Amino acid sequence: MPLSSLKTISLQRFSLNFAANIIAALWMLVGSTRAFSWVKPTFVQFALFALLALGSNVLFSWLAAEAGSVFNEQGLVSYLIWPAIISLVGIILARRSGNQMLVFVPVVLWLVADTLSALLQSIVQVLGSHGWLPEWSYSFLPILFLVLFLWQTLALLWIFARRQRTPWWERIIILIGAVALLTIWQRNVADQPIFKQIPVQPVLEEAALYKQPRLLQQALASIDPSMPGKSDWYFMGVAGFSDQNVFRSEINKVRELFDVRFGTSGHSLALINNTYSWLDEPVATKTSILQGLKKIGQQMDADEDVLFMTLSSHGDQDFIHLSNPPLEMDNLDAAWLREALDASGIRWRVLVVSACYSGSFIDELTSPTTVVITASAADKMSFGCTNTAEMTYFGQAFFAESLRENTSFAAAFKDASLRVSERESFMGFESSEPQMVVGSLMKTALPAFEKTLFDKTRSSVAKITNNTAVPINIIPEDSTDRLENTATSTTE
């Protein structure tokens, strides 16, 4: 049936026309020409759905935008191109067919479908931002959103081709050409959303330039020598990646855990890469890590004392990222870390590496006097590194939960591995498979070292509760609650 014979009759009530247009769009999306029987292409309906489509796309762009994004005029113009083109197509069809009823038919159908699509994308975005979607869906969502954009336009072309009884081969050519054009256009404007984060070039303040050496020297000077005749624990934490706050938060919370509960105050050092900590904390570079290890090695008794060192960052095979723009840093590789540890003279070591592929550190770091614990196997990712999280999945499970409830690293590791596995399974992630390797000499020495460490926990509690009726084996909630935070679902 030719387009010239198409007749549309508006219903008496505005709400009925509104509902009819939604039904028409749904028929269009399934490729049915019944859409022409339902569509009510009045100017009022066109204006309404133009506003609804624009509003729903602005909503989706706002939901998908990163913190600090601002309104982007170019993104708005990019969106308005397609309703304008489709409106022009309607005018051309109406003139060629001599049927003025066609003017608003294509654009009304497209705008209704676009409104429904943008609202669906907004719902998906909300679910994703709360971590309520399975892990596999996050890599699929960009493809889904592209398909939805293509679908509404291809469905419109399809029903008009069917209405005009266009030969099948012409329909295929039109659809292939439309897919190519729309995909290229969509990819070219992908970096022009309606709300866009304005990139800010990192700048190193003059004050930070001069303060950083003093911060490092002050931190090193605060490391006290060990007490002869007893085993002391020393703590060193490294937050490697500056652009996500979770690594800084995790290291600082673990340092607090060790200083308050395990008695390492005066024996601890934290090196932090973070955009906002240049004036407060010494940065983590190979140079500062080496200096930190040497200082700790000088203050320790190599035969009696133990270093607990934890690193938290993004990782890859055999290295973790050290990044703190505008400085360019070398990444921290496993072989270099082993050499630095050996050069420091530190004999007894408990090393925890929290990063993707951190299991690749095990071969280099393993020694008879070392415990190596990693958040993942050598070929696995680990999860939980976002700006909104305070600890990674492994950090939360091992430090914030399991070390509070156990009196050995092996028991805490086993407990944490189970917690991480359950959480990853619930979120739909592939298991990270945390690893733990204990050196041959450390297997014999570790129980005595652990007794010293956890005895300090009980001593700290005894001091806190000395003037209260609380038994010394009960840990006050205010010393641990700050460690109980839930990380979100991204990889390290």
Under a CB-based contact definition with an 8 Å cutoff, are residues 405 and 444 in contact? no
Q: With contact defined as beta carbons under 8 Å apart, do 168 and 129 qualify?
A: no
Cα 260 → chain centroid: 30
- Separation between Cα atoms, residue 270 and residue 248, nearest integer Å: 9
∠209-213-218 over CA atoms, to 5°? 135
Q: Where are the beta strands (DSSP E) in 8-120?
A: 70-71
Q: Where are the beta strands (DSSP E) in 232-331?
A: 233-239, 268-272, 306-312, 315-316, 319-320
For position 470, what pLDDT does the model report? 30
pTM of the full structure = 0.65
Question: In whole angstroms, what is the distance from residue 343 CA to residue 13 CA?
Answer: 84
51: how many CB neighbours lie within 10 A of its CB?
A: 12
Asked whether the beta carbons of 345 and 302 are under 8 A apart, the reply is yes
pLDDT digits (tens, 9 = 90+) for 69-121: 889 988 888 889 989 999 999 999 888 888 888 899 999 999 999 999 999 99
- Token pair recorded at residue 177: 């050409």
Confidence of residue 457 (pLDDT cuts 50, 70, 90): low
CA-derived radius of gyration, the chain: 31
CATH number of 212-483: 3.40.50.1460
Q: What span, in angstroms and rounded, lies between the C-alpha atoms of 346 and 26?
A: 70
Question: Does the pLDDT of residue 467 top 50, yes or no?
Answer: no
Domain locations in the chain? 3-196, 212-483
How is the chain split among helix, strand and coil, in percent rounded to 5? Answer: 55, 10, 35
Q: What is the pLDDT of residues 53-70, one digit of tens each?
A: 999 999 999 998 887 788
- What rounded mean pLDDT belongs to the chain? 87
Q: pLDDT at position 18, please? A: 96
Q: Predicted confidence band at 157 (pLDDT cuts at 50, 70, 90)?
A: very high
Counting DSSP H helices and E strands in the chain, the numbers are 16, 11
pLDDT computed for residue 163 by the predictor: 87
The confidence score (pLDDT) of residue 491 equals: 65
